[in-house]
Amino acid sequence: MKVASVLIPLPVPEAFDYEVPETLSLARGDQVAVPLGPRLIRGVVAEVFETTGSNRRLKSVESRLDDPALPAGVMDFVEWAGRWTLSPPGEMAATALKGLRAPRPKPERRVRRVSDRQPARATPARTGVLEALGDRAMAGADLARAAGVSSGVVKGLIDEGVLEIVEIAAEAAFDRPDPDHAPATLNGDQAAAASALAAGVTGGGFRPFLLDGVTGSGKTEAYLEAIARVLRADPAAQILILLPEIALTQALIERITARFGAAPAEWHSGVAPPRRRQVWEAVVAGRCNIVVGARSALFLPFVDLRLIVVDEEHDSSFKQEEGLVYHGRDLAVARARIEGAAVVLASATPSLETLWNAQAGRYDWLKLGARHGVAVMPDIELLDLRQHTPDPQTWLSQPLRTAVAETLARGEQTLLFLNRRGYAPVVLCRVCGHRLTAPDTDSWLVEHRYTGRLVCHLTGFSMARPKLCPSCGAEDSLVSVGPGVERVEEEVRQLFPEARTAVFSSDTAPDARSARALIQRMTDGEIDILVATQAAAKGHNFPRLTLVGVVDADLGLRGGDLRAAERTYQLLAQATG
Protein backbone atom coordinates (compact mmCIF):
# COMPACT_ATOMS: atom_id res chain seq x y z
CA MET A 1 0.00 0.00 0.00
CA LYS A 2 0.98 3.65 -0.39
CA VAL A 3 1.71 5.65 2.73
CA ALA A 4 1.96 9.43 3.09
CA SER A 5 4.03 11.03 5.85
CA VAL A 6 2.11 14.19 6.74
CA LEU A 7 3.38 17.20 8.69
CA ILE A 8 0.64 18.50 10.97
CA PRO A 9 0.72 21.85 12.83
CA LEU A 10 1.26 20.42 16.31
CA PRO A 11 4.30 20.28 18.64
CA VAL A 12 5.15 16.69 17.74
CA PRO A 13 8.67 15.59 16.73
CA GLU A 14 7.88 13.89 13.41
CA ALA A 15 5.40 13.45 10.60
CA PHE A 16 2.33 11.19 10.97
CA ASP A 17 1.80 8.26 8.56
CA TYR A 18 -1.51 7.82 6.74
CA GLU A 19 -2.64 5.31 4.15
CA VAL A 20 -3.24 6.78 0.70
CA PRO A 21 -6.48 5.53 -0.93
CA GLU A 22 -6.06 4.00 -4.37
CA THR A 23 -8.27 6.72 -5.87
CA LEU A 24 -5.99 9.49 -4.59
CA SER A 25 -2.73 10.65 -6.15
CA LEU A 26 -0.43 12.56 -3.79
CA ALA A 27 3.00 14.12 -4.07
CA ARG A 28 5.43 15.87 -1.74
CA GLY A 29 4.13 19.32 -0.80
CA ASP A 30 0.44 18.59 -1.38
CA GLN A 31 -1.98 19.92 1.20
CA VAL A 32 -4.33 17.29 2.59
CA ALA A 33 -7.09 16.83 5.14
CA VAL A 34 -6.28 13.99 7.54
CA PRO A 35 -8.08 12.62 10.61
CA LEU A 36 -6.55 13.35 14.00
CA GLY A 37 -8.68 11.94 16.77
CA PRO A 38 -12.29 12.99 16.18
CA ARG A 39 -11.49 15.88 13.82
CA LEU A 40 -10.00 16.61 10.42
CA ILE A 41 -6.86 18.72 10.28
CA ARG A 42 -4.87 20.35 7.48
CA GLY A 43 -1.45 18.85 6.83
CA VAL A 44 1.35 18.89 4.27
CA VAL A 45 2.66 15.74 2.61
CA ALA A 46 6.37 15.35 3.40
CA GLU A 47 6.87 12.02 1.65
CA VAL A 48 4.92 9.33 -0.23
CA PHE A 49 6.28 5.78 -0.20
CA GLU A 50 5.15 2.21 -0.76
CA THR A 51 5.23 -0.54 1.83
CA THR A 52 4.26 -4.19 1.78
CA GLY A 53 2.52 -4.09 5.11
CA SER A 54 2.43 -2.57 8.57
CA ASN A 55 2.17 -3.88 12.12
CA ARG A 56 -0.43 -1.21 12.85
CA ARG A 57 -3.59 -0.11 11.10
CA LEU A 58 -3.17 3.31 9.50
CA LYS A 59 -5.91 5.84 9.11
CA SER A 60 -6.51 7.03 5.55
CA VAL A 61 -5.97 10.46 4.07
CA GLU A 62 -9.42 12.03 3.83
CA SER A 63 -8.83 14.23 0.76
CA ARG A 64 -6.38 16.37 -1.14
CA LEU A 65 -7.15 20.07 -0.69
CA ASP A 66 -7.51 22.42 -3.64
CA ASP A 67 -4.96 24.90 -2.23
CA PRO A 68 -1.62 25.06 -4.07
CA ALA A 69 1.08 22.57 -3.13
CA LEU A 70 4.20 23.87 -1.40
CA PRO A 71 7.18 23.92 -3.80
CA ALA A 72 10.01 21.44 -3.24
CA GLY A 73 12.39 24.16 -2.05
CA VAL A 74 9.94 25.26 0.63
CA MET A 75 9.52 21.68 1.88
CA ASP A 76 13.29 21.17 2.04
CA PHE A 77 13.69 24.49 3.87
CA VAL A 78 10.90 23.76 6.38
CA GLU A 79 12.36 20.37 7.28
CA TRP A 80 15.91 21.71 7.51
CA ALA A 81 14.81 24.67 9.67
CA GLY A 82 12.98 22.32 12.02
CA ARG A 83 16.11 20.22 12.51
CA TRP A 84 18.40 23.25 12.82
CA THR A 85 16.28 25.04 15.42
CA LEU A 86 15.16 21.83 17.20
CA SER A 87 11.56 22.80 16.45
CA PRO A 88 8.62 20.56 15.52
CA PRO A 89 8.61 20.27 11.71
CA GLY A 90 4.83 20.52 11.63
CA GLU A 91 4.93 23.94 13.27
CA MET A 92 7.53 25.05 10.72
CA ALA A 93 5.17 23.85 7.97
CA ALA A 94 2.34 25.78 9.62
CA THR A 95 4.47 28.94 9.38
CA ALA A 96 4.80 28.35 5.65
CA LEU A 97 0.99 28.04 5.42
CA LYS A 98 0.32 31.12 7.53
CA GLY A 99 -1.01 33.10 4.59
CA LEU A 100 -3.69 30.50 3.92
CA ARG A 101 -5.06 30.80 7.45
CA ALA A 102 -6.20 34.32 6.61
CA PRO A 103 -9.70 34.81 5.21
CA ARG A 104 -10.17 35.45 1.52
CA PRO A 105 -10.92 39.06 0.55
CA LYS A 106 -14.59 39.79 0.00
CA PRO A 107 -15.61 39.27 -3.64
CA GLU A 108 -16.01 42.38 -5.76
CA ARG A 109 -19.52 43.29 -6.96
CA ARG A 110 -19.55 44.21 -10.64
CA VAL A 111 -22.14 44.65 -13.36
CA ARG A 112 -22.20 43.05 -16.80
CA ARG A 113 -24.47 42.99 -19.82
CA VAL A 114 -27.26 40.42 -20.12
CA SER A 115 -26.84 39.25 -23.69
CA ASP A 116 -30.46 38.90 -24.78
CA ARG A 117 -31.92 41.99 -23.09
CA GLN A 118 -32.33 45.46 -24.57
CA PRO A 119 -33.39 48.62 -22.72
CA ALA A 120 -37.05 49.59 -23.18
CA ARG A 121 -36.00 53.18 -23.80
CA ALA A 122 -32.63 53.72 -25.56
CA THR A 123 -31.66 57.18 -24.27
CA PRO A 124 -28.23 58.64 -25.07
CA ALA A 125 -27.16 58.10 -21.43
CA ARG A 126 -28.18 54.44 -21.46
CA THR A 127 -26.53 53.85 -24.83
CA GLY A 128 -23.34 55.45 -23.50
CA VAL A 129 -23.35 53.09 -20.51
CA LEU A 130 -23.73 49.99 -22.71
CA GLU A 131 -20.99 51.17 -25.09
CA ALA A 132 -18.60 51.91 -22.19
CA LEU A 133 -19.28 48.50 -20.66
CA GLY A 134 -18.98 46.34 -23.78
CA ASP A 135 -18.36 42.70 -22.91
CA ARG A 136 -16.55 43.50 -19.65
CA ALA A 137 -17.64 43.38 -16.03
CA MET A 138 -17.09 46.64 -14.14
CA ALA A 139 -17.88 48.15 -10.78
CA GLY A 140 -21.03 50.25 -10.97
CA ALA A 141 -19.33 53.46 -9.87
CA ASP A 142 -16.49 52.96 -12.37
CA LEU A 143 -18.97 52.30 -15.16
CA ALA A 144 -20.95 55.45 -14.41
CA ARG A 145 -17.73 57.47 -14.32
CA ALA A 146 -16.51 55.99 -17.63
CA ALA A 147 -19.84 56.73 -19.35
CA GLY A 148 -20.10 60.21 -17.82
CA VAL A 149 -23.53 59.58 -16.29
CA SER A 150 -25.02 59.39 -12.81
CA SER A 151 -25.17 56.12 -10.90
CA GLY A 152 -28.97 56.24 -11.25
CA VAL A 153 -28.69 55.43 -14.98
CA VAL A 154 -26.71 52.27 -14.19
CA LYS A 155 -29.16 51.33 -11.44
CA GLY A 156 -32.08 51.79 -13.83
CA LEU A 157 -30.54 49.37 -16.32
CA ILE A 158 -29.99 46.84 -13.51
CA ASP A 159 -33.60 47.16 -12.36
CA GLU A 160 -34.75 46.66 -15.94
CA GLY A 161 -32.70 43.46 -16.27
CA VAL A 162 -30.40 44.80 -19.01
CA LEU A 163 -27.45 44.64 -16.62
CA GLU A 164 -26.87 42.10 -13.86
CA ILE A 165 -24.73 42.13 -10.72
CA VAL A 166 -22.08 39.44 -10.44
CA GLU A 167 -19.56 38.68 -7.70
CA ILE A 168 -15.96 38.16 -8.80
CA ALA A 169 -13.27 36.80 -6.50
CA ALA A 170 -10.78 39.52 -5.62
CA GLU A 171 -7.33 38.76 -6.95
CA ALA A 172 -4.33 40.95 -6.23
CA ALA A 173 -2.68 42.28 -9.35
CA PHE A 174 1.06 42.85 -8.98
CA ASP A 175 2.46 44.78 -11.91
CA ARG A 176 5.68 43.45 -13.39
CA PRO A 177 8.63 45.64 -12.37
CA ASP A 178 10.35 47.42 -15.25
CA PRO A 179 14.15 47.18 -14.79
CA ASP A 180 14.65 50.12 -17.18
CA HIS A 181 12.02 52.42 -15.63
CA ALA A 182 14.24 54.88 -13.72
CA PRO A 183 17.85 53.65 -13.45
CA ALA A 184 20.00 55.42 -10.87
CA THR A 185 23.42 56.95 -11.49
CA LEU A 186 25.92 54.86 -9.52
CA ASN A 187 29.46 55.70 -8.50
CA GLY A 188 32.31 53.32 -9.21
CA ASP A 189 32.05 51.30 -6.00
CA GLN A 190 28.27 50.95 -6.33
CA ALA A 191 28.47 49.88 -9.97
CA ALA A 192 31.15 47.29 -9.17
CA ALA A 193 29.06 45.90 -6.29
CA ALA A 194 25.91 45.76 -8.43
CA SER A 195 27.78 43.95 -11.22
CA ALA A 196 29.22 41.41 -8.78
CA LEU A 197 25.80 40.76 -7.23
CA ALA A 198 24.06 40.39 -10.59
CA ALA A 199 26.80 38.06 -11.86
CA GLY A 200 26.43 35.94 -8.73
CA VAL A 201 22.70 35.56 -9.34
CA THR A 202 22.73 35.00 -13.10
CA GLY A 203 25.65 32.58 -12.77
CA GLY A 204 23.36 30.20 -10.89
CA GLY A 205 23.96 28.32 -7.69
CA PHE A 206 24.30 29.45 -4.09
CA ARG A 207 26.35 32.65 -3.65
CA PRO A 208 26.51 34.54 -0.32
CA PHE A 209 27.65 38.20 -0.29
CA LEU A 210 28.45 40.71 2.43
CA LEU A 211 27.63 44.23 1.20
CA ASP A 212 29.67 46.25 3.69
CA GLY A 213 29.23 49.99 3.21
CA VAL A 214 29.45 53.00 5.50
CA THR A 215 26.20 54.78 6.31
CA GLY A 216 25.02 56.78 3.32
CA SER A 217 27.21 54.90 0.85
CA GLY A 218 24.25 53.82 -1.29
CA LYS A 219 23.95 50.12 -0.45
CA THR A 220 20.24 50.16 -1.30
CA GLU A 221 20.85 51.61 -4.77
CA ALA A 222 23.55 49.01 -5.37
CA TYR A 223 21.32 46.03 -4.64
CA LEU A 224 18.34 47.61 -6.45
CA GLU A 225 20.51 47.87 -9.57
CA ALA A 226 21.50 44.23 -9.11
CA ILE A 227 17.80 43.33 -8.89
CA ALA A 228 17.16 45.25 -12.12
CA ARG A 229 19.85 43.27 -13.95
CA VAL A 230 18.46 39.99 -12.61
CA LEU A 231 14.94 40.88 -13.80
CA ARG A 232 16.31 41.99 -17.16
CA ALA A 233 17.88 38.56 -17.63
CA ASP A 234 14.88 36.63 -16.22
CA PRO A 235 11.55 38.51 -15.95
CA ALA A 236 10.06 35.63 -13.91
CA ALA A 237 12.74 35.80 -11.17
CA GLN A 238 11.55 36.36 -7.60
CA ILE A 239 13.40 38.50 -5.06
CA LEU A 240 12.91 38.75 -1.29
CA ILE A 241 14.09 41.78 0.71
CA LEU A 242 14.06 41.37 4.51
CA LEU A 243 13.97 44.36 6.87
CA PRO A 244 14.36 44.31 10.67
CA GLU A 245 11.59 46.82 11.41
CA ILE A 246 8.11 47.24 9.95
CA ALA A 247 8.59 51.02 10.13
CA LEU A 248 11.30 50.78 7.45
CA THR A 249 9.15 49.04 4.87
CA GLN A 250 7.23 52.07 3.62
CA ALA A 251 10.33 54.09 2.72
CA LEU A 252 11.88 51.13 0.86
CA ILE A 253 8.62 50.35 -0.94
CA GLU A 254 8.52 53.94 -2.18
CA ARG A 255 12.10 53.67 -3.46
CA ILE A 256 11.40 50.36 -5.21
CA THR A 257 8.23 51.79 -6.77
CA ALA A 258 10.12 54.83 -8.03
CA ARG A 259 12.92 52.63 -9.42
CA PHE A 260 10.81 49.95 -11.15
CA GLY A 261 7.50 51.72 -11.76
CA ALA A 262 5.62 49.02 -9.83
CA ALA A 263 5.04 48.51 -6.11
CA PRO A 264 6.38 45.32 -4.50
CA ALA A 265 4.34 43.04 -2.28
CA GLU A 266 4.45 43.73 1.45
CA TRP A 267 4.54 40.97 4.10
CA HIS A 268 4.53 41.57 7.85
CA SER A 269 2.17 41.55 10.81
CA GLY A 270 0.86 45.02 9.96
CA VAL A 271 -0.62 43.83 6.64
CA ALA A 272 -4.33 42.99 6.79
CA PRO A 273 -4.97 39.20 6.79
CA PRO A 274 -6.95 39.15 3.49
CA ARG A 275 -4.10 41.01 1.81
CA ARG A 276 -1.57 38.53 3.21
CA ARG A 277 -3.56 35.73 1.65
CA GLN A 278 -3.48 37.52 -1.70
CA VAL A 279 0.29 37.92 -1.45
CA TRP A 280 0.76 34.24 -0.53
CA GLU A 281 -1.32 33.08 -3.49
CA ALA A 282 0.44 35.48 -5.88
CA VAL A 283 3.88 34.30 -4.74
CA VAL A 284 3.12 30.59 -5.19
CA ALA A 285 1.57 31.32 -8.60
CA GLY A 286 4.64 33.27 -9.74
CA ARG A 287 2.63 36.47 -10.23
CA CYS A 288 4.74 38.49 -7.78
CA ASN A 289 8.40 39.35 -8.42
CA ILE A 290 9.54 41.40 -5.42
CA VAL A 291 8.49 40.95 -1.78
CA VAL A 292 9.52 43.31 1.03
CA GLY A 293 8.88 41.94 4.47
CA ALA A 294 9.83 40.91 7.97
CA ARG A 295 11.63 37.70 8.91
CA SER A 296 8.49 35.53 8.50
CA ALA A 297 8.55 36.27 4.74
CA LEU A 298 11.31 33.65 4.55
CA PHE A 299 8.59 30.99 4.68
CA LEU A 300 6.64 32.26 1.66
CA PRO A 301 6.23 29.64 -1.12
CA PHE A 302 8.51 31.14 -3.78
CA VAL A 303 8.64 29.12 -6.98
CA ASP A 304 11.64 30.87 -8.61
CA LEU A 305 13.57 32.54 -5.79
CA ARG A 306 16.80 33.96 -7.20
CA LEU A 307 17.94 36.54 -4.66
CA ILE A 308 17.46 37.28 -0.93
CA VAL A 309 18.58 40.62 0.53
CA VAL A 310 18.89 40.95 4.32
CA ASP A 311 19.10 44.70 4.96
CA GLU A 312 20.68 45.83 8.25
CA GLU A 313 21.70 42.19 8.78
CA HIS A 314 23.32 42.98 12.14
CA ASP A 315 20.01 44.02 13.72
CA SER A 316 18.89 41.92 16.69
CA SER A 317 15.26 42.25 15.55
CA PHE A 318 15.92 39.49 13.02
CA LYS A 319 15.96 37.04 15.92
CA GLN A 320 12.53 35.72 16.88
CA GLU A 321 12.31 35.00 20.58
CA GLU A 322 8.68 33.84 20.92
CA GLY A 323 7.08 30.65 19.65
CA LEU A 324 9.46 29.27 17.04
CA VAL A 325 12.89 30.62 17.97
CA TYR A 326 15.11 31.34 14.98
CA HIS A 327 17.40 33.99 13.51
CA GLY A 328 16.11 35.43 10.24
CA ARG A 329 19.60 36.17 8.91
CA ASP A 330 20.82 32.60 9.40
CA LEU A 331 17.68 31.07 7.91
CA ALA A 332 17.95 33.46 4.95
CA VAL A 333 21.38 32.06 4.15
CA ALA A 334 20.01 28.51 4.50
CA ARG A 335 16.99 29.25 2.28
CA ALA A 336 19.30 30.65 -0.42
CA ARG A 337 21.53 27.57 -0.21
CA ILE A 338 18.56 25.21 -0.51
CA GLU A 339 17.05 27.19 -3.42
CA GLY A 340 20.40 27.62 -5.20
CA ALA A 341 20.02 31.40 -4.98
CA ALA A 342 22.22 34.33 -4.01
CA VAL A 343 21.93 36.05 -0.62
CA VAL A 344 23.13 39.56 0.20
CA LEU A 345 23.79 40.58 3.81
CA ALA A 346 23.90 44.40 3.82
CA SER A 347 25.06 46.54 6.73
CA ALA A 348 27.28 49.45 7.72
CA THR A 349 28.14 47.57 10.92
CA PRO A 350 28.14 43.84 10.09
CA SER A 351 27.74 41.29 12.85
CA LEU A 352 30.85 39.47 14.01
CA GLU A 353 29.59 36.15 12.57
CA THR A 354 29.15 37.70 9.13
CA LEU A 355 32.51 39.47 9.29
CA TRP A 356 34.21 36.22 10.23
CA ASN A 357 32.59 34.38 7.31
CA ALA A 358 33.69 37.16 4.96
CA GLN A 359 37.26 37.16 6.28
CA ALA A 360 37.40 33.37 5.99
CA GLY A 361 36.35 33.60 2.34
CA ARG A 362 32.98 31.88 2.81
CA TYR A 363 31.16 35.07 1.75
CA ASP A 364 32.13 37.40 -1.10
CA TRP A 365 33.02 40.70 0.57
CA LEU A 366 31.90 43.85 -1.27
CA LYS A 367 32.94 47.16 0.29
CA LEU A 368 31.56 50.68 -0.19
CA GLY A 369 34.01 52.92 1.61
CA ALA A 370 32.70 56.40 0.77
CA ARG A 371 29.38 58.17 1.00
CA HIS A 372 27.39 58.67 -2.18
CA GLY A 373 27.51 61.99 -4.04
CA VAL A 374 28.67 65.08 -2.15
CA ALA A 375 27.87 63.66 1.30
CA VAL A 376 30.79 63.32 3.70
CA MET A 377 31.32 61.26 6.83
CA PRO A 378 30.37 62.98 10.10
CA ASP A 379 32.89 64.60 12.43
CA ILE A 380 32.61 62.80 15.78
CA GLU A 381 33.63 64.54 19.01
CA LEU A 382 33.90 62.73 22.33
CA LEU A 383 32.86 64.82 25.35
CA ASP A 384 34.25 63.78 28.74
CA LEU A 385 31.60 64.81 31.26
CA ARG A 386 34.26 65.11 33.95
CA GLN A 387 35.54 68.11 32.00
CA HIS A 388 32.16 69.31 30.65
CA THR A 389 29.99 68.62 33.68
CA PRO A 390 26.29 69.40 33.14
CA ASP A 391 24.43 71.51 35.66
CA PRO A 392 22.82 69.60 38.57
CA GLN A 393 19.74 67.61 37.53
CA THR A 394 20.47 68.21 33.83
CA TRP A 395 21.98 65.85 31.28
CA LEU A 396 23.11 67.92 28.30
CA SER A 397 26.63 69.34 28.49
CA GLN A 398 27.33 72.94 27.53
CA PRO A 399 29.11 72.11 24.23
CA LEU A 400 26.09 70.01 23.16
CA ARG A 401 23.67 72.78 24.14
CA THR A 402 25.69 75.26 22.07
CA ALA A 403 25.74 72.94 19.07
CA VAL A 404 21.95 72.45 19.28
CA ALA A 405 21.40 76.22 19.41
CA GLU A 406 23.62 76.76 16.35
CA THR A 407 21.82 74.00 14.46
CA LEU A 408 18.42 75.55 15.24
CA ALA A 409 19.68 78.96 14.09
CA ARG A 410 20.60 77.44 10.71
CA GLY A 411 17.10 75.92 10.37
CA GLU A 412 18.45 72.36 10.56
CA GLN A 413 17.44 69.36 12.65
CA THR A 414 18.96 67.71 15.72
CA LEU A 415 18.72 64.14 16.99
CA LEU A 416 19.39 63.55 20.70
CA PHE A 417 19.97 59.84 21.16
CA LEU A 418 19.53 57.95 24.41
CA ASN A 419 18.71 54.26 24.34
CA ARG A 420 16.59 54.33 27.47
CA ARG A 421 12.80 54.56 27.47
CA GLY A 422 10.71 56.46 29.99
CA TYR A 423 11.57 59.36 32.29
CA ALA A 424 14.03 57.78 34.73
CA PRO A 425 15.44 54.25 35.02
CA VAL A 426 15.47 54.13 38.83
CA VAL A 427 13.10 55.39 41.52
CA LEU A 428 14.44 55.27 45.10
CA CYS A 429 13.63 56.56 48.56
CA ARG A 430 15.85 59.39 49.88
CA VAL A 431 15.10 58.32 53.47
CA CYS A 432 15.87 54.58 53.48
CA GLY A 433 17.51 54.07 50.07
CA HIS A 434 14.93 51.50 48.91
CA ARG A 435 14.82 51.00 45.12
CA LEU A 436 11.43 50.18 43.66
CA THR A 437 11.44 46.84 41.84
CA ALA A 438 8.90 44.56 40.19
CA PRO A 439 7.37 41.94 42.53
CA ASP A 440 9.51 38.83 43.06
CA THR A 441 12.34 40.20 40.87
CA ASP A 442 15.35 42.48 41.11
CA SER A 443 14.27 44.38 37.99
CA TRP A 444 14.05 48.13 38.63
CA LEU A 445 10.83 49.97 37.87
CA VAL A 446 11.21 52.66 35.20
CA GLU A 447 9.26 55.86 35.69
CA HIS A 448 7.11 56.98 32.75
CA ARG A 449 6.13 60.59 33.39
CA TYR A 450 3.68 60.74 30.45
CA THR A 451 1.46 58.06 31.99
CA GLY A 452 2.36 58.61 35.66
CA ARG A 453 3.25 54.95 36.11
CA LEU A 454 6.23 52.81 37.07
CA VAL A 455 6.85 50.01 34.57
CA CYS A 456 9.10 46.94 34.53
CA HIS A 457 10.34 46.53 30.95
CA LEU A 458 11.34 42.93 31.69
CA THR A 459 8.13 41.46 33.14
CA GLY A 460 5.56 44.04 32.00
CA PHE A 461 4.47 44.82 35.58
CA SER A 462 3.00 48.31 35.95
CA MET A 463 1.79 50.41 38.89
CA ALA A 464 0.91 54.01 39.65
CA ARG A 465 3.71 56.04 41.23
CA PRO A 466 3.09 55.80 45.01
CA LYS A 467 3.13 58.79 47.36
CA LEU A 468 4.65 56.78 50.22
CA CYS A 469 7.79 54.67 50.21
CA PRO A 470 6.63 51.03 50.20
CA SER A 471 9.55 50.11 52.48
CA CYS A 472 9.68 52.78 55.21
CA GLY A 473 6.40 54.64 54.61
CA ALA A 474 8.06 58.07 54.27
CA GLU A 475 5.92 60.60 52.41
CA ASP A 476 7.17 62.44 49.29
CA SER A 477 10.56 60.75 49.65
CA LEU A 478 10.70 59.03 46.23
CA VAL A 479 13.12 60.56 43.76
CA SER A 480 13.79 59.80 40.08
CA VAL A 481 17.42 58.95 39.34
CA GLY A 482 19.05 59.11 35.93
CA PRO A 483 17.71 60.19 32.54
CA GLY A 484 15.35 58.58 30.05
CA VAL A 485 14.20 60.09 26.76
CA GLU A 486 11.20 61.77 28.45
CA ARG A 487 13.52 63.52 30.90
CA VAL A 488 15.86 64.66 28.13
CA GLU A 489 12.87 66.02 26.22
CA GLU A 490 11.77 67.92 29.35
CA GLU A 491 15.20 69.56 29.53
CA VAL A 492 15.15 70.38 25.81
CA ARG A 493 11.77 72.11 26.12
CA GLN A 494 13.12 74.23 28.97
CA LEU A 495 16.30 75.17 27.05
CA PHE A 496 14.69 75.68 23.62
CA PRO A 497 11.00 76.49 24.17
CA GLU A 498 10.58 77.72 20.58
CA ALA A 499 11.83 74.45 19.04
CA ARG A 500 9.39 71.79 17.83
CA THR A 501 10.34 68.71 19.88
CA ALA A 502 9.20 65.09 19.77
CA VAL A 503 10.11 61.75 21.34
CA PHE A 504 10.60 58.62 19.23
CA SER A 505 10.47 55.38 21.22
CA SER A 506 8.32 52.26 21.41
CA ASP A 507 6.15 54.12 23.96
CA THR A 508 5.33 57.09 21.71
CA ALA A 509 5.24 55.03 18.47
CA PRO A 510 3.97 51.57 19.54
CA ASP A 511 2.94 50.37 16.07
CA ALA A 512 4.10 50.66 12.47
CA ARG A 513 1.54 53.29 11.51
CA SER A 514 2.46 55.73 14.28
CA ALA A 515 6.17 55.14 13.66
CA ARG A 516 5.78 55.90 9.95
CA ALA A 517 3.81 59.06 10.78
CA LEU A 518 6.54 60.27 13.14
CA ILE A 519 9.27 59.45 10.60
CA GLN A 520 7.34 61.35 7.92
CA ARG A 521 7.02 64.42 10.18
CA MET A 522 10.77 64.35 10.73
CA THR A 523 11.45 63.91 7.02
CA ASP A 524 9.12 66.80 6.14
CA GLY A 525 10.92 69.12 8.58
CA GLU A 526 8.03 69.43 11.03
CA ILE A 527 10.30 68.50 13.97
CA ASP A 528 13.38 70.52 15.02
CA ILE A 529 14.70 68.29 17.81
CA LEU A 530 13.98 64.55 17.95
CA VAL A 531 14.78 62.77 21.21
CA ALA A 532 14.96 59.09 20.37
CA THR A 533 15.92 55.59 21.43
CA GLN A 534 17.32 52.95 19.05
CA ALA A 535 14.02 53.14 17.12
CA ALA A 536 15.62 56.04 15.21
CA ALA A 537 18.88 54.19 14.47
CA LYS A 538 17.40 51.81 11.89
CA GLY A 539 18.55 53.20 8.56
CA HIS A 540 16.16 56.16 8.29
CA ASN A 541 17.04 59.02 5.97
CA PHE A 542 16.44 62.52 7.37
CA PRO A 543 17.86 65.02 4.82
CA ARG A 544 17.77 68.05 7.16
CA LEU A 545 19.41 66.28 10.11
CA THR A 546 22.92 67.68 10.65
CA LEU A 547 23.59 67.19 14.38
CA VAL A 548 23.42 64.03 16.51
CA GLY A 549 24.00 64.24 20.24
CA VAL A 550 24.41 60.94 22.09
CA VAL A 551 23.59 61.11 25.80
CA ASP A 552 25.37 58.51 27.98
CA ALA A 553 27.17 56.99 25.00
CA ASP A 554 28.74 54.25 27.15
CA LEU A 555 25.38 53.18 28.60
CA GLY A 556 25.25 49.94 26.59
CA LEU A 557 28.57 48.68 27.98
CA ARG A 558 27.01 47.98 31.38
CA GLY A 559 25.68 44.58 32.40
CA GLY A 560 26.70 41.03 31.62
CA ASP A 561 25.91 40.84 27.90
CA LEU A 562 28.88 39.21 26.17
CA ARG A 563 28.08 41.18 23.00
CA ALA A 564 27.68 44.53 24.75
CA ALA A 565 30.73 46.13 23.08
CA GLU A 566 29.72 44.94 19.61
CA ARG A 567 26.13 46.11 19.97
CA THR A 568 27.13 49.45 21.47
CA TYR A 569 29.44 50.11 18.54
CA GLN A 570 26.77 49.12 16.02
CA LEU A 571 24.16 51.30 17.70
CA LEU A 572 26.40 54.37 17.94
CA ALA A 573 27.70 53.96 14.38
CA GLN A 574 24.15 53.70 13.03
CA ALA A 575 22.92 56.67 15.09
CA THR A 576 25.80 58.99 14.25
CA GLY A 577 25.75 57.87 10.62
CA dist 313 and 215 (Å) reads 14
CB 42 within 8 Å of CB 2: no
Predicted confidence (pLDDT) at residue 374 exceeds the cutoff of 70:
no
Q: Which CATH number fits domain 378-425+482-577: 3.90.1170.50, 1.25.10.10, 3.40.50.300, 3.30.930.10?
A: 3.40.50.300
Topology classification of domain 188-368: Rossmann fold (3.40.50)
Tell me whether strands 413-417 and 326-327 are parallel, antiparallel or unpaired: unpaired
Longest Cα–Cα distance of the chain, Å, equals 93
Taking only the tens place, the pLDDT of each residue in 88-124 is 999 999 999 988 888 887 877 888 888 778 888 888 8
Print burial letters for 379-412: b (CB count within 10 Å at least 16), e (below 16): eeeeeeeeeeebeeebbbbeebbebbeebbeeee
For residue 181, give the DSSP letter.
S
Residue bearing the bigger pLDDT, 140 or 497: 497
Lowest mean pLDDT segment, chosen from 333-342, 405-414, 471-480: 471-480
Query: What is the 3-class SS of 249-316, one letter each residue?
Result: HHHHHHHHHHHHCCCCEEECCCCCHHHHHHHHHHHHCCCCCEEEECHHHHHCCCCCEEEEEEECCCCH
pTM, two decimal places: 0.84
Residue 159 has φ and ψ, to the nearest 5°, of -60, -30
The predicted model gives 338-364 an average pLDDT of 95
Domains 188-368 and 378-425+482-577 share a fold: yes
List pLDDT tens digits, range 390-434.
888 888 999 999 999 999 999 999 999 998 888 988 999 999 989
φ, ψ for residue 78, nearest 5 deg: -60, -45
Q: Is 3 helix (H, G, I), strand (E, B) or coil?
A: strand
Instruction: State pLDDT tens for residues 293-337.
Output: 999 999 999 999 999 999 999 998 899 988 889 999 999 999 999
Q: Give the pLDDT confidence score for residue 34 in this predicted structure.
A: 95
Distance CA 67, CA 43 (A): 11
Q: What are phi and psi of 166, to 5 degrees?
A: -125, 155
pLDDT band at 42 (very low <50, low <70, confident <90, very high): very high
Confidence label for 449 from pLDDT (cuts 50, 70 and 90): confident
Look at residue 557 in the predicted model and tell me its pLDDT: 86
The topology (CATH level 3) of 2-101 is GIY-YIG endonuclease (3.40.1440)
Domain regions of the chain by residue span: 2-101, 108-168, 188-368, 378-425+482-577, 429-472
- Percent of the chain past pLDDT 90, that is, above it, reads 53
